[in-house]
Amino acid sequence: MYDNKRLGFLFVLPFVLGVLLFKLTPFVMSFALSFTQYDLIDPPEFVGLRNYQELATADPLFVKSLGVTMWFAVLAVPLRVGFALLIAHVLNFKLKGINAFRAAFYIPSILGGSIATAVLWRFLFAKHGLVNIVLAQLGLEPIAWLADEHYSMWTIVLLFTWQFGSAMVIFLAALQNVPTSLYEAAEIDGASKTQQFWRITVPLITPVIFFNLIMQMVHAFQEFNGPYMITEGGPLHSTYVLALYIYDQSFRFFNLGYGAALSWVLFALVGGLALLSFWSSKYWVFYAGEKDKK
């Protein structure tokens, strides 16, 4: 049945139509825009590769923000995915009241980019905020988190990490698909809980780990809320991520053409990384439901 090509295509048809109807035009338009100068008022003016040329050669802000974005992704993605996996693992224990904990851990993600998050995060990382109080308790020097270009990145990285709820929920769901009997077999084989986690759980949920890595990478490269709300890209552009720059260019400076060019560079970057990940997944992702291929 599964090699009925027509049926398979019928099932993806909604997606094909969706792409044609709602995605194709915007994509093509934005790609076309990236070769123009467009300020919303006057019709776009074709400028060829000028936008790309400019960002490659004459835009230190782009270079800076590209670096910031990559650094952010490098820090934030493993932290969020790792944390989510760890907590999901812990929350998968049978324990009284575990439901409440699950909800508690998800709350930050429900709050999303709300005012409360912004206000709170600024409170936490303010000079006299909770974080510094804790540091002081540990006998450490207080840190001007929001005002120090070397530390400001951490505030948004931690915010990103803190909102690990969705990844956690996905992991929780994935953990259910690991057959109990395998844990039993591993237990008999003498595996400790930790070993079971690393050698049974992790390999068997690699499809979902892979999913979370890819998605969080995509999200991290497009992260906007944190830097926008908490640090406003500063200080000294130390948290001026690409998404912020694209936003500024497109919707504050009205350089829609340039913004589109920036976006497509980001697209190429993320796409390249994703391609790399997909290629690597052959070697570490295990699909129980996949027929082997020739």
Partner 1 sequence: APWVHAQGSRTLRFAWWGGAARHSATLAALRLFEQRHPGVRVKAEYMGFNGYLERLTTQIAGRAEPDLMQINWAWLAMFSKRGNGFADLNAQQSVLQLDQFGADDLAYGQVQGKLNALPLSFSARVMLWNESAFRRAGLALPRNWDELFAAGPAFRRALGDGAFPLDGELYDMMLLAQTWVQQRHGTPYVDPLNRRIAMNEAAALDWVRTYRRLVNEHVCTPLPLRASLGGAEKPTEQQPDWVKGRWAGNYTWDALIGLRASTLPPSEKLALGAFPTLPGALDSGLFGRPTLMYAVGRSSPQPELAARLMNFLLCDPEAAKILGRTRGLPSARSSLAVLQASGGLPPLELAAHDQIQAQRLAGRLRRPAPLFEHARFLKFMREVFETVAYGKTSDLDAARRLVNEGQALLQRL
Partner 2 sequence: MAAVNLRGVEKTYPNGFKAVHGVDLDVRDGEFMVFVGPSGCAKSTLLRMVAGLESITGGELRIGGRAVNDLPPKERGIAMVFQNYALYPHMTVYDNLAFGLKLAKTPKAELDQRVRHAAQLLEMEHLLDRYPKQLSGGQAQRVAVGRAIVKKPDVFLFDEPLSNLDAKLRAAMRVRLTELHRSLREAGQPATTIYVTHDQTEAMTMGERICVLKAGVIQQVDTPTALYERPANAFVAGFIGSPEMNLVPAALQDGAVAVGGVRLPIPTERLGRALAVSGEVQFGLRPEHIGIQPEARPGTVAVTGTLRFCEHMGAEVFVYFDVGAQAFSARINADQIGDLLQAPRGSQHAFQFQMGQAHLFDARTGVALR
Partner 3 sequence: MNQVEATRTPWLRYLTLGAVALVMLYPLIWLVGASFKSNAEIFTSAGFVPSQLDFGAYAKGWKTSTEYTFATYFLNSFLITIPRIVVTVVSCVLVAYAFARFEFWGKKTLFAIMIGTMMLPLIVLRLPQYLVFREIGWLDGYLPLIVPSAFATDTFFVFLLVQFLRGIPRDMEEAAQIDGCNALQLLWHIVVPLLKPAIISVIVFQFIWTMNDFMGPLIYLASVEKYPVSLALKMSIGATEEVEWANVIAISVVALIPSVLVFFAAQKHFIEGASSSGVKG
Which of positions 11-40 make contact with partner 1 (CB under 8 A)?
39-40
- Which does residue 190 touch among partner 1, partner 3, partner 2, none (CB within 5 to 8 A, set by kind)? partner 2
SS3 219: helix
From the list 162, 141, 133, the residue with the least C-alpha distance to 230 is 162
Q: Which is nearer to partner 3, 139 or 289 (CB)?
A: 289
CB of 234 to partner 3, least distance (A): 20
Piece in contact with partner 1 (CB under 8 A), picked from 65-73, 81-89, 96-104, 144-152: 144-152
Q: Which is nearer to partner 2, 151 or 211 (CB)?
A: 211
Q: Are 68 and 238 in contact (CB under 8 A)?
A: yes
Of how many residues is the chain composed?
A: 294
SS3 234: coil
Stretch 181-220: interaction string toward partner 2, x if CB under 8 A: xx-xxxxxxxxx--x---xx--xx----------------
From the list 31, 25, 15, the residue with the least C-alpha distance to 268 is 31
- Which does residue 195 touch among partner 1, partner 2, partner 3, none (CB within 5 to 8 A, set by kind)? partner 2
Q: Which of residues 237-266 bind partner 3 (CB under 8 A)?
A: 242-243, 246-247, 250-251, 256, 259-260, 263-264, 266
Q: Which is nearer to partner 2, 156 or 204 (CB)?
A: 204
From the list 129, 133, 199, 125, the residue with the least C-alpha distance to 159 is 125
Amino acid 195 reads Q
- Which does residue 12 touch among partner 3, partner 1, partner 2, none (CB within 5 to 8 A, set by kind)? partner 3
Q: Are 127 and 142 in contact (CB under 8 A)?
A: yes
Stretch 271-290: interaction string toward partner 2, x if CB under 8 A: ---------------x-x--
CB of 28 to partner 1, least distance (A): 17
Which residues are bridge partners to 46 per DSSP?
Answer: 36
Phi, psi of 36 (to 5 degrees): -130, 170
Phi, psi of 151 (to 5 degrees): -110, -20
Q: Which of residues 230-289 bind partner 1 (CB under 8 A)?
A: 230-232, 234-237, 248, 251-255
How many whole angstroms separate alpha carbon 36 and alpha carbon 164? 39
Which residues are bridge partners to 37 per DSSP?
Answer: 45
SS3 138: coil
126 binds partner 1 (CB under 8 A): yes
Contact pick of 186, 208, 220, 229 for partner 3 (by CB under 8 A): 208
222 burial class (0-12, 13-18, 19+ CB within 10 angstroms)? middle
- Which does residue 161 touch among partner 2, partner 3, partner 1, none (CB within 5 to 8 A, set by kind)? none
Phi, psi of 288 (to 5 degrees): -70, -25
Return the residue matching tokens 């995060």.
Answer: 121
Q: Which of residues 48-87 bind partner 3 (CB under 8 A)?
A: 87
Stretch 129-158: interaction string toward partner 2, x if CB under 8 A: ------------------------------
Instruction: Give contact residues for partner 1 (rule: CB under 8 A).
Output: 39-42, 122-123, 125-129, 144-149, 230-232, 234-237, 248, 251-255
